[in-house]
Amino acid sequence: MLTVISFYLLAFVAVAAAFMVVAARNPVHSVMYLILTFFSAAGLFILMGAEFLALLLVMVYVGAVAVLFLFVVMMLDVDFVELKQGFLSYLPIGALVAIVLLLEMIMVGAAYVAGETKTVVVRETGLSNLEAFGRVLYTDYAGVFEAAGFVLLVAMIGAIVLTLREREGVRKQDAMKQMERTKETGMEMVDIEPGQGIG
């Protein structure tokens, strides 16, 4: 019974949050709804007995959402000063999302502890599906797994490089000029007349 209630709650929240990802006009709100969708889908995976996929969804995709958020902020120039002005008005919605996430975690944890979730055990070795999946992933497909991580790293760096632009009036450090400095170029003797400043 607890599993059925958890399933319907998680499925409803996942569908509603996915709809709000598209419907929300504020990109920050879309990111928050997307994270809620991922957490709900991870809960559904746990109910099915696929704990590794749930952990992968939370660790990889929520991290990818952080990169997406960075990309959106850099592309759209979101004015955070304007967002911070109405911070208290968003507090009830944020508290509601936090309460929903807490309820989801409690219900999934209770169903898992009660033994109502499916757990597949590999009969030959006596390993759970999480251990068996991990062994296969990190032995037989270790190279592919590392290549996928490298592709994600390149994508993150590419997103930052594509959105990086020069800004006028911003002081920045030039390491090459600093290393090339000598006593002659690093110091300038100026003879200032009395009552005059440096122009």
Q: What is the pLDDT along the chain (199 residues), one digit of tens a residue?
A: 777 888 888 889 899 989 988 888 877 778 778 888 888 888 888 888 777 788 888 888 877 776 677 666 666 666 666 666 666 666 777 787 788 878 877 877 787 777 666 655 555 566 777 777 778 888 888 899 899 889 988 988 887 777 776 667 767 777 888 888 887 777 777 777 777 766 5
Q: Are 59 and 52 in contact (CB under 8 A)?
A: no
Give dist(CA 49, CA 116) in Å, integer: 10
Q: Are 7 and 44 in contact (CB under 8 A)?
A: yes
Structure confidence by residue, pLDDT tens digits, 58-81:
888 877 776 677 666 666 666 666
Going from N- to C-terminal start, the domains of the chain cover 2-83+91-118
Tell me the two tokens of residue 101. 């996430």
Please give the full DSSP string across 116-144, using - where no structure is assigned: -S---B-TTT--BHHHHHHHHHHHTTHHH
SS3 of 121, please?
Answer: strand
Give dist(CA 39, CA 20) in Å, integer: 15
Tell me the two tokens of residue 184. 């002659």
Can you name the CATH fold of 2-83+91-118? Four Helix Bundle (Hemerythrin (Met), subunit A) (1.20.120)
Name residue, tokens 């002659």: 184
| pTM, rounded to two decimals | 0.57
Residue 144 Cα distances to 4, 57, 141, 150, angstroms: 37, 18, 5, 10
